[in-house]
């Protein structure tokens, strides 16, 4: 239990530092692709986390991101929406035998197809919410939608790359 908490705190700090110090300063395709790798922290939270804890962790994560990027409430609301949808989405895509206690959603544990389905939908929801709140109008709907989709695909690619670079083979462990 303590090891899980320490690992999650370390993951939070590492991903937030990487996001704030490196990824926020990248200009990819003139701002059409904006990577938000810090979402990997929220995506990798354990399955059995209570709903209230998921929403609070999402709010705190978004708040920290808002403080560093000077976007009051934008990341916080997007992360809370993402965590709210995560609660329902995990039930919809659950394996027939359910999730094991203490298991995290990772590529080695759940498989590439499952993780891409799981993370892809949640990242897309986060990005759509964030970009439409950022622009707060619908007159440029299609360009904002395209920016959100491109950024979501890029973020998902970074999440998969991070999973492959940092994950040990967890299939044999409980």
Asked whether residue 84 is assigned to any structural domain, the reply reads yes
Is residue 144 over pLDDT 50? Answer: yes
Q: Is residue 51 part of a domain?
A: yes
- The string of pLDDT tens digits covering residues 74-131 is 999 999 999 999 999 999 998 888 888 878 899 988 889 999 999 999 999 999 999 9
pLDDT of residue 169: 56
DSSP class of 24: G
CATH code of 29's domain: 1.10.1760
Residue 153 has pLDDT above 70, yes or no: yes
Q: Residue 174 falls within a domain, yes or no?
A: no
**Would residue 171 count as lying in a domain?**
no
The answer to whether residues 159 and 44 touch, using CB atoms and an 8 Å cutoff, is no
Split into its structural domains, the chain has a count of 1
Least confident piece of the model among 24-33, 51-60, 113-122: 24-33
Q: Is residue 172 part of a domain?
A: no
Q: With respect to residue 173, please indicate whether it lies within any of the assigned structural domains.
A: no
Question: Residue 68 is part of which domain span?
Answer: 2-166
Q: Indicate if the pLDDT at residue 174 is higher than 50.
A: no
Provide the 3-class DSSP secondary structure of residue 28.
strand
- Name the residue among 65, 60, 56 with its Cα closest to residue 15: 65
Q: What percentage of the chain has pLDDT greater than the value 90? A: 70
Q: Which of 44, 42, 38, 49 is nearest to 15 (CA)?
A: 38
Residue in the block written with tokens 């197809």: 113
pLDDT, position 167: 74
- With a CB cutoff of 8 Å and minimum separation 6, the contacts of 32 are 146, 147, 150, 151
Residue pair 167/108 in contact by the 8 Å Cβ criterion = yes
């Amino acid at each position: 239990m303590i090891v899980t908490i320490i690992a999650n705190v370390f993951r939070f700090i590492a991903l937030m530092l990487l996001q704030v110090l490196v990824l926020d300063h990248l200009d990819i395709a003139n701002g059409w692709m904006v990577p938000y790798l810090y979402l990997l922290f929220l995506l990798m939270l354990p399955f059995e986390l209570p709903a209230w804890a998921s929403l609070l962790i999402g709010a705190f994560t978004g708040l920290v991101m808002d403080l560093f990027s000077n976007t009051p409430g934008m990341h916080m609301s997007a992360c809370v929406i993402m965590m709210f949808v995560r609660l329902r989405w995990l039930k919809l895509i659950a394996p027939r035998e359910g999730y094991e206690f203490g298991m995290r959603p990772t590529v080695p544990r759940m498989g590439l197809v499952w993780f891409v389905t799981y993370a892809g939908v949640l990242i897309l929801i986060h990005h759509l919410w964030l970009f439409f709140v950022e622009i707060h109008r619908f007159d440029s709907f299609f360009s904002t939608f395209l920016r959100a989709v491109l950024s979501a695909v890029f973020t998902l690619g970074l999440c998969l790359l991070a999973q492959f670079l940092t994950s040990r083979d967890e299939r044999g462990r409980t």
